[in-house]
């Protein structure tokens, strides 16, 4: 059952409660390997569902537009101070509703419509809000995009520098949504300084790894750092923007009143809880285990014939091209889901297939590491993936069903935050 229990929801709206309980069971019974997902602690769940959701708090601590902020102000301040301490930054804004609005605040703070912004191309692993054409950031601004090397699958900073010199962007984004290798923050910073651009590090995927010391930090290199608070950081669905003191005012004004009204106070409280958890030695061990699990899984997948973009991973994320397996990413992802292995189909660099039917899959190890799985389990995970993909080609649903049962049997021995067997 769901933990914390939901008796009042069950009594008031049993139809919805049934769906929530079923989702809790689904999350417990599957290997959740979508790279942007995780399990939050029960403390984070409790903070997210408090009466703080009742309160409007437009403005910032000490400068609100509504009365009754005597307890909200210290909650938000606590989250801010914990973010500053954990990441070693001069300023933090914890109000953005999610990662995309956080990135939009950067545009509002530093650019005018039509100005040039530079980011990684979406098909290469970048994010929609780094200037891709279907996003407002690609429609209202002049986007220039860098790629990865066709052979290595890695960013070539010499090519990035040449592009920046030619286009003179006002803002450069580094980071992305499908980047399996360590981001060279000092290298990007050098390029940004040369062309006079503001460097923005989007660490949404790797924030927890940075907090836990398992990935280099952009602090001291990037002028602005944006991040979601879930994914590897293992907090609620929210976002933060961290900056040097020089950019604090511009960012704060862009978030409020520039883009949004009152913050979601229950989310702010849950962010504060997650930041406290991320400051512990236990979390540091967790972050390093994520990376160790990803490396072990990448090696096991390679042994079973999967083609990995860039040849492997340095973080939590693996991007695989399934062309050599004779199957596209979408049917593979759907078959894997039926087999109890949840991930997403994904474009790979220089993909010849369409985005809604791409060649690849993207997966990560943050959530299964939260459950307690280690390197010793990764060869079995890779074996199941290989079996399921092969079974999908043969319409062998019996094998897929068998794998789902074996996954469920394994996970029964690994507790899930937010769920307890009835």
How many CB atoms sit inside 10 A of residue 5's CB? 11
CB distance 345 to 329 below 8 Å: yes
Structure confidence at residue 376 (pLDDT): 98
Q: Which one of 58, 73, 115, 375 is the catalytic residue?
A: 58
In angstroms, the CA 249 to CA 358 distance is 42
In angstroms, the CA 205 to CA 230 distance is 9
- Antiparallel, parallel or unpaired: β 360-364 and 317-321: antiparallel
Mean pLDDT by 10 residues, the chain (422 residues): 95 98 97 98 97 97 97 98 98 97 97 97 94 93 96 96 98 97 98 98 98 98 98 98 97 98 98 98 98 98 98 98 98 98 98 95 98 98 98 97 98 96 80
- Antiparallel, parallel or unpaired: β 198-202 and 224-228: parallel
Q: Which one of 231, 330, 362, 371 is the catalytic residue?
A: 231
Q: Which one of 84, 161, 237, 353 is the catalytic residue?
A: 237
Query: Per the annotation, does 8 bind a ligand?
Result: no
Q: Can you give 64-115 as a three-state secondary structure string? A: ECCCCCCCHHHHHHHHHHHHHHHHCCCEEECCCCCHHHHHHHHHHHHCCCCC
Q: What angle do CA 60, 66, 71 make, to 5 degrees?
A: 65
Residue 65 annotated to the active site: no
Cα distances from 114 to residues 109, 137, 193, in angstroms, run 14, 10, 21
Query: Per the annotation, does 163 bind a ligand?
Result: no
Query: Per the annotation, does 127 bind a ligand?
Result: yes
End-to-end CA distance of the chain: 6
Radius of gyration of the chain (CA): 22
Residue 146 token pair: 């860098």
Residue 55 annotated to the active site: no
Residue 380 token pair: 């079995």
Q: Which one of 129, 228, 369, 370 is the catalytic residue?
A: 228
In angstroms, the CA 53 to CA 62 distance is 19
Residue 386 annotated to the active site: no
CB distance 240 to 115 below 8 Å: no
Give the helix/strand (H/E) hosting 59.
strand 59-60
Give the helix/strand (H/E) hosting 172.
strand 171-174
Residue 226 annotated to the active site: no
In angstroms, the CA 274 to CA 104 distance is 24
Query: Per the annotation, does 138 bind a ligand?
Result: no
CB distance 231 to 204 below 8 Å: yes
Residue 56 annotated to the active site: yes
Structure confidence at residue 421 (pLDDT): 85
Structure confidence at residue 137 (pLDDT): 94
Structure confidence at residue 138 (pLDDT): 93
Residue 15 annotated to the active site: no
């Amino acid at each position: 059952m769901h933990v914390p229990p939901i008796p009042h929801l069950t009594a008031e709206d049993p139809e919805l409660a049934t769906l929530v309980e079923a989702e809790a069971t689904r999350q417990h019974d599957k290997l959740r390997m979508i790279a942007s997902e995780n399990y939050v602690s029960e403390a984070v769940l409790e903070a997210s569902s408090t009466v703080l959701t009742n309160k409007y708090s437009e403005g910032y601590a000490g400068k609100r537009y509504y009365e009754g902020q005597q307890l909200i102000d210290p909650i938000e301040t606590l989250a801010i101070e914990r973010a500053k301490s954990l990441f070693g930054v001069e300023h933090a804004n914890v109000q953005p509703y999610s990662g995309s609005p956080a990135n939009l605040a950067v545009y509002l703070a530093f650019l005018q419509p039509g100005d040039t912004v530079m980011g990684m191309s979406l098909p290469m692993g970048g994010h929609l809000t780094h200037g891709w054409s279907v996003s407002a950031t690609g429609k209202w601004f002049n986007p220039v995009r860098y790629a990865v090397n066709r052979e290595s699958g890695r960013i070539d900073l010499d090519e990035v520098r040449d592009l920046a010199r030619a286009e003179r962007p006002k803002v450069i984004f580094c980071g992305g949504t499908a980047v399996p290798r360590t981001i060279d923050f000092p290298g990007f910073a050098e390029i940004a300084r040369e062309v006079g651009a503001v460097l923005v590090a989007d660490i949404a995927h790797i924030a927890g790894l940075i907090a836990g010391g398992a990935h280099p930090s952009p602090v001291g290199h990037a002028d602005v750092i944006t991040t979601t608070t879930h994914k590897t950081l293992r907090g609620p669905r929210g976002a933060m923007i961290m900056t040097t003191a020089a950019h604090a005012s511009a960012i704060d004004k862009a978030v409020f009143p520039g883009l949004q009204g009152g913050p979601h106070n229950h989310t702010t409280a849950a962010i504060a809880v997650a930041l406290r958890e991320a400051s512990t030695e236990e979390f540091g061990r967790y972050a390093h285990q994520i990376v160790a699990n990803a490396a072990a899984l990448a090696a096991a997948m390679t042994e079973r014939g999967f083609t990995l973009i860039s040849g492997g991973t340095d973080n939590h994320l693996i991007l695989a091209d399934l062309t050599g397996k004779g199957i596209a990413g979408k049917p593979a992802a759907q078959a894997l889901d039926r087999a109890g292995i949840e991930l997403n189909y994904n474009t790979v660099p220089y993909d010849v297939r369409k985005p809604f039917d791409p060649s690849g899959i993207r997966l990560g190890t943050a959530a299964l590491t939260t459950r307690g799985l280690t390197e010793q389990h990764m060869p079995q995970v890779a074996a199941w993936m290989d079996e399921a993909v092969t079974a999908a080609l043969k319409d062998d649903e019996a094998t897929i069903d068998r794998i789902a049962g074996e996954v469920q049997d394994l996970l029964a021995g690994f507790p899930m935050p937010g769920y307890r067997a009835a």
